Structures are given as C-alpha cells and as structure tokens.
Amino acid sequence: MKLDSYWTDSAPAFVPQARELPGRVDVAIVGGGFTGLSAALALARRGASVAVLEAGTRVAAEASGRNGGHVNNGLAVDYADVAAKVGVERARGWYRAYDDAVDTVERLVREEAIDCDFLRHGKLKLATRANQMAALERSARRLIDDGVDSDVEVLDATRVRAEVSSERFHGGLLYKRSGQMHMGRFAGGLAAAAQRGGASIHTGTEVSRIERIGGSGHAHRLHTGRGAVVTAQQVLLATGATRHGGYGSFGWLRRRIVPIGSFIVVTEPLGEERAKALLAARRTYTTIANIHHYFRLTPDHRLVFGGRARFAVSSPQSDAASGDILRAGLAETFPQLGAVRLDYCWGGLVDMTQDRLPHAGERDGLYYAMGYSGHGTQMSVHMGQRMAAVIGGDAGANPWQGRDWPAIPGHFGPPWFLPAVGLYYRLKDRLA
C-alpha cells in the first residue's frame, strides 16, 4: 500500500518550463494549487505578467491533489441554517456560487481540452439513520421553495439500494448538478494552460516574507527561500492551509484557518462488472455525519473511500493509522468486498474556517481566497477566475465579498485542540 495520493501517482507530473525567477511582475500568486493556477490562467489571458510561486516540488500536490475527487455543488453547511443567519437572498447567492463553480470546472475542461475524466453524474447525500431522512426532506423542500435548486430529489431506501450495494443507507438526497474528475490530470492540464497563456510557474519557491512597498497600495516585495526577491504590483494569496512560509507574513490568515486532516484509501482495481454492481450510477457519495465518509469509483474501477477518520494533521504515521480506521468503515459499508487490497492511503489538509464557508477579499493590499472547508475542488477553480477579475478591477466578481472573518479564539499556531474537537463531534454523532 502506497502512502501517496492516487491522483498524483497516476498522473504525469507537470514540469514547468525552466525560467529565471522574474524580478518584477504585474501579479504574483503565492500557491500553485487550483486557486493559484486558475487565477494565473485568467490573468495571463488578460495580458498580465504573472508568476506562480509554489513552495512544493509539484503543483497542486497539497489539498488540490489530495482530496476525494468530488466536484460537488451545494454548501458545506445546511442551506436553511445559512439562510436563517444571513437571509434567503444572500444564502441563495452563495449556494448558486457552487453551481457556478462546477460550471467553471466543466468550461475549463472543455476550453483547454483537459483529459481528466470529468463526469457530471450527481452527488447522493446518504442517510445512515432513519431519522436523518426527515432532515433531508426538509432540505429538499426548502431548496425548491426558495428557488435555489429545483434539481434536488429525495430517494427512498429502495431507490438508493438500486444503485448503492449496501444495506447501511435509509435513503438519500440527490444533487444532480455535481460532478467528479481525476484531480491529478486536471491539475496538469490547468497548469499547462496557464503556462501556454504566458504565466511563469516556479516550484520549490517558498515565499518566506512579504513586504509592502510604500505603506499603501497593492505593490509588494516577496522574499523567497531562494534568496531572490520578486516585486509585484498585486499579490494573490492562494495558500490554503499550507505549513510553508514564515508565520509573520501569513499569521493573520493562519489564525482564521484550522488545518484538519482528511484521509482516503483506494482499493485495487475491482473490475468493471464488480464496480458496476457496487455503485451502478457512478456518482459521488457522502454520508450525513460530522465524522462522515465519502466515496466514488475511478475510471479504472477502483473504489475511493475517505473520511475524517481522525482529527489529526496528516503525516505518514497519521495516514497509516487513519487507513486502518477507514478499512473498518469500508468493511462496514461494503462487506461484500471482503479483504480487498488497498493500494493507496493518504491524508490531506482541509483549510477549515469557523463558519465552514470560503473567505476571499483584500487586506493590507493583499488579495486572498481560501477557507474552502472540504468543498474546495470546484470553488478553488472558480475563485481563481473570480479573483483574477477582482484584481482586474471588478470588485463585484467576488461572491464572498464583504464578509467578516474573525480569528478563531485560542488559535495561534498548530491546532492543539483537534483531539478535543474530534471527541466533541463523535459525541454529537453518537447522540444524534
């Protein structure tokens, strides 16, 4: 079993064109994940000189390449709860931003001819307890009645079992606009498109400090681990929950994001017939719980099965321990797979915010977009495009503008409180 992401291991590594780090650019982007690459593509198309500065040795190798492969619409939190806090109009706009985000991914796949097995088969949110069905039915009614999503549909247990070969589920809520893709191949295609458009991409280039020029405006000097300095008229921070970089320049963001591990295993190839018998509709699937599972099939008929197995930060030891927990969850959900071989096991960091919604805007002359809270594969791509428009002068392009983002109390560095959070959520699930 490889302690490595299936998506990055099964895709050709994107190798940037060898270029000297530029001394001056119109826009510097810190972070070479989906947000940064998407923004670089959009900005380069507008004629801007763009440099993407990625600390790692490979683009999209963190959250963008270490997730479950879902491209889902729908908020990370219940729409009705959000509407109760901010009003129907604003909640509706945020929900539709996720619809737009899936559309953005599909558009870029088509325009750039990215071979990443993009499919739009929908997402099925599954009830593991009978009493969860009432909540799903309320959600569906509210989404339809508020004119938010007329495509959702409640499926009873019989219909769910017709496409999910498991006795665990009492029904589900189908979101028909959701999709899926091969994350590693999409990343390579997106990076290649940005580079073709004129953006320069620099891996192994950690930004250690950012210095504002003149005390006002958007111009900054970015000091890199190479010892070189890049001067940029505008800067976009697209770092997510990165542990790279000096805390001084990124401390404001890190106090507002909790890096939570999410862990995934991938089986050996099951064969087409066995895979079809397991998940006939080949959708993306997620269970209702705070400690939940999510799963889907790959084009080569493997089962990708993930979840927040442990409230811990990803590391080789943590990933392996989480793999044992996920194997037990896999056996409970699909006992017919028996002792199926697991070929991959890995973890990734979710950039969780306190309200579990994205945050994007500008502070002290620096633009930022992050905090996708486990629903980032589509929104990160979309926000790269949107923040490129904001940088170009269209402030209204940001669907998350004007939101307060208070610091998380007691959070100043490593998330020491994660084990307590895990116990709290397990207790909530047990009492639900």
Delimit the domains of the chain by residue range.
6-421
228 three-class SS: coil
Task: Give CATH for domain 6-421.
Answer: 3.50.50.60
* pLDDT score at 340: 97
Q: What is the pLDDT along the chain (432 residues), one digit of tens a residue?
A: 899 999 999 999 999 999 999 999 999 999 999 999 999 999 999 999 999 999 999 999 999 999 999 999 999 999 999 999 999 999 999 999 999 999 999 999 999 999 999 999 999 999 999 999 999 999 999 999 999 999 999 999 999 999 999 999 999 999 999 999 999 999 999 999 999 999 999 999 999 999 999 878 899 999 998 899 999 999 999 998 776 655 567 888 989 998 888 899 999 999 999 999 999 999 999 999 766 899 999 999 999 999 875 556 667 777 788 888 999 999 999 999 998 999 999 998 889 899 999 999 999 999 999 999 999 999 999 999 999 999 999 999 999 999 999 998 888 766 655 555 555 455 555 666
Which residues does residue 180 pair with via DSSP β-bridges, in sequence order?
70, 119
Supply 276's token pair: 């079809």
pTM listed for this prediction? 0.94
Distance from CA of residue 308 to its chain's centroid? 14
* pLDDT score at 220: 97
Sign for the pseudo-dihedral over CA of 344, 180, 125, 419: positive
Name the nearest CA neighbour of 232 among 355, 97, 81, 49. 49
Residues 29, 39: contact at Cβ < 8 Å? yes
**Separation CA 291–CA 311 (nearest Å):** 9
* pLDDT score at 211: 95
- DSSP letter for 364, please: T
Residues 428, 293: contact at Cβ < 8 Å? no
Name the nearest CA neighbour of 122 among 158, 81, 83, 163. 163
**Separation CA 223–CA 111 (nearest Å):** 35
Within 10 angstroms of residue 192's Cβ, the number of other Cβ atoms is 18
* pLDDT score at 348: 86
